Amino acid sequence: MPTVEELIDRARKNEEIARRLFDIEVQIMNIGHCSDFFDQLLTLVAEKFNIEHVWVSLTDSPINDHILRSICGDREQEQSSALHVMATMDFLQATQSSREPILINDGFKKYRYLIPQAVYPKLGSMAILPLVVDGKIIGSLNLGDNSPDRYEPSKDSFFLKQLAVKASISLAGVSIREKISFLATRDPLTLLRNRREMEESLERELSRSRRHHDPLALVFIDCDDFKLVNDTYGHDCGDLYLKYVANKLIDMTRKGDMVFRFAGDEFVLVLPNQNTADAEMIAGRIKDHLSASPLMYRGLQVSVSISYGSISTDQLVEPTHKTLLKAADEKLYQMKKHKPPRCSLIEAFDLH
């Protein structure tokens, strides 16, 4: 039976652990972005509790799409060594969908998909803390130590569960706030940045262009056959058509370029450090690729044809976001004006 002194010492240690957990909760609960949340969480946990290895595993389930997009951006980027995205089935099989912390110091092979390759050979013990958002397990916060004793399975996991709950609740709050902010600046169909965001981004890029004396190009894009697509195949196909074009624009532009849905079937590319010749080359390459890569819809090939107008700041005396858009729109009009008329998609693709 423990002595009074031992009980007091244990109470003091528990109080200190609770204080550190509270400190972590306070610092992560109001973070605005998921990427910042994970960076801060991992740093705090490692520092507050002197943990050698701390990382997060996230499943590839749809519920994590927003979180992963927040961390990695619209385009694929190299993931942080502290973040692992893994197949949902592999994760659930390894953890048996447990909502309680899992402590292990043997049999790491079962959990190999959760463990970074660089950490795997060093692990003596490990704690897997489930992250639960909207009632669903989305991954885990993982703590690793070189010693087999630190997370020995028979140890009390009460405070580990507290950490898991605090991290999950805070992550849910961050995710909701970021979703609200995201939707306010995005087109709901294509998830491209919307017109309002375009105007603000273009003003920022123009300011940067003036400061550094670098050119800035803009491409205004219009889909030639969008009305025919809707009339021939219906609005479901039309929606897929717009999403298809949006994804191609993202795939075929650089990481620093910006793609916006302006309105309807119109899109805008903002290309930093590019002149008009560069923009023409990029737009021409996109146009050729889309023409050669039809959208597949219910076994049919739906062609994708665009017109565009390109302009850059070095062609205008005092460029503003309005004058750039107007100049690009005028060039777009000229391209469309000289295109031959299209009767219908049925005739165009000889589907009759």
Is the per-residue pLDDT at 331 higher than 80? yes
Phi-psi region of 31 (alpha: psi -120 to 50; beta: other; left: phi over 0): beta
The confidence score (pLDDT) of residue 84 equals 79
Q: What is the pLDDT of residues 173-210, one digit of tens each?
A: 988 888 888 788 899 999 999 999 999 999 999 999 99
Supply the DSSP string of 44-61, one letter for each residue: HHHHHHT-SEEEEEEE-S
Which pLDDT band, with edges at 50, 70 and 90, does 71 fall under? confident
The confidence score (pLDDT) of residue 348 equals 43
Question: Which CATH number describes the domain made up of 195-348?
Answer: 3.30.70.270
Q: What's the average model confidence in pLDDT over 32-61? A: 91
Which pLDDT band, with edges at 50, 70 and 90, does 55 fall under? very high
Q: pLDDT exceeding 90 applies to what percent of the chain?
A: 66
Supply the DSSP string of 112-157, one letter for each residue: GGGS-TTTGGG-SEEEEEEEEETTEEEEEEEEEESSSSTT-TTS--
Q: pLDDT exceeding 70 applies to what percent of the chain?
A: 93
The confidence score (pLDDT) of residue 205 equals 94
- Cβ atoms of 201 and 258 closer than 8 Å: yes
Q: Is the pTM of this model over 0.75?
A: no
Is the per-residue pLDDT at 92 higher than 80? yes
Q: What is the pLDDT of residues 209-260, one digit of tens each?
A: 999 999 999 999 999 989 999 999 999 999 999 999 999 999 999 988 999 9
Which pLDDT band, with edges at 50, 70 and 90, does 66 fall under? confident
Distance from C-alpha of 268 to C-alpha of 328, rounded to nearest angstrom: 10
DSSP three-state, residue 351:
coil
Pairing mode of beta strands 83-86, 53-59: parallel
CATH fold for domain 4-184: Beta-Lactamase (3.30.450)
Which has more pLDDT, 65 or 300?
300
Which pLDDT band, with edges at 50, 70 and 90, does 341 fall under? low
The confidence score (pLDDT) of residue 7 equals 78
The confidence score (pLDDT) of residue 225 equals 86
b/e burial code for range 135-153 (CB count within 10 A of at least 16 → b): eebbbbbbbbbeeeebbee
Q: What is the pLDDT of residues 23-44, one digit of tens each?
A: 999 999 888 888 889 999 999 9
The confidence score (pLDDT) of residue 342 equals 57
The average confidence (pLDDT) of the chain is: 89
Residues 6+ apart with CB under 8 A from 162: 18, 21
Q: What's the average model confidence in pLDDT over 294-321? A: 92
In the chain, where are the structural domains located?
4-184, 195-348
Strands (E), the chain: 53-59, 83-86, 102-104, 125-133, 136-145, 216-223, 258-263, 266-272, 295-297, 300-302, 306-312
| Size of the chain, expressed as the number of residues it contains | 352
Which has more pLDDT, 11 or 286?
286
Distance from C-alpha of 148 to C-alpha of 144, rounded to nearest angstrom: 10
The confidence score (pLDDT) of residue 78 equals 44
How many other CB atoms sit within 10 Å of the CB of residue 343?
Answer: 8
Q: Half-sphere exposure of residue 85, counting CA atoms within 13 Å on the CB side? A: 16
